[in-house]
Amino acid sequence: MWVNNFLILGAVLFAIGVYGVIARKNAVLVLMSIELILNSVNINLLAFSQMHNNVDGNTFALYIIAVAAAEVGVGLAMVMLIYRNRKTIALDDLSEMKG
């Protein structure tokens, strides 16, 4: 199999995830798009790991999975807090900081 098969699939998933982060208003859906991005990176890491017959890529992929789990936990807690205070999780309503 070509390495490029996996790398291009990773690029496609990454682009879809970036589109989701930009286009979505619902905070939970933005977090889901971030998960897509992290998964595409994992596919790339494992493809390189297999290509060089080196186990480091597997280690990095496991670490990314752990970081992604932590990120989802904190992210959803923040979403819950915002929902409790404002009764909405639409990201374009959160404009107090005028960012």
Map the footprint of other proteins across residues 23-52, applying CB under 8 A.
Answer: 23-26, 28-29, 31-33, 35-36, 39, 42-43, 46-47, 49-51
As measured in angstroms, the least distance from the Cβ of 31 to other proteins is 7
Q: How far apart are CA 66 and CA 81, in angstroms?
A: 23
Q: Which of 60, 63, 67 is nearest to 46 (CA)?
A: 60
C-alpha to C-alpha distance for 7 and 9, rounded to whole angstroms: 5
Give the residue with the Cβ less far from other proteins, 53 or 96. 53
Min dist. Cβ of residue 27 to other proteins (A): 8
State yes or no: residue 94 binds other proteins (CB under 8 A): no
Q: Which of residues 54-93 bind other proteins (CB under 8 A)?
A: 55-59, 61-63, 65-74, 76-81, 83-84, 89-92
Q: Please answer whether residues 82 and 27 qualify as being in contact, where contact means their C-beta atoms are separated by less than 8 angstroms.
A: yes
Answer whether 91's CB lies under 8 Å from 20's CB.
no
CA distance 15 to 61: 19
Q: Shortest gap between Cβ of 93 and other proteins (angstroms)?
A: 11
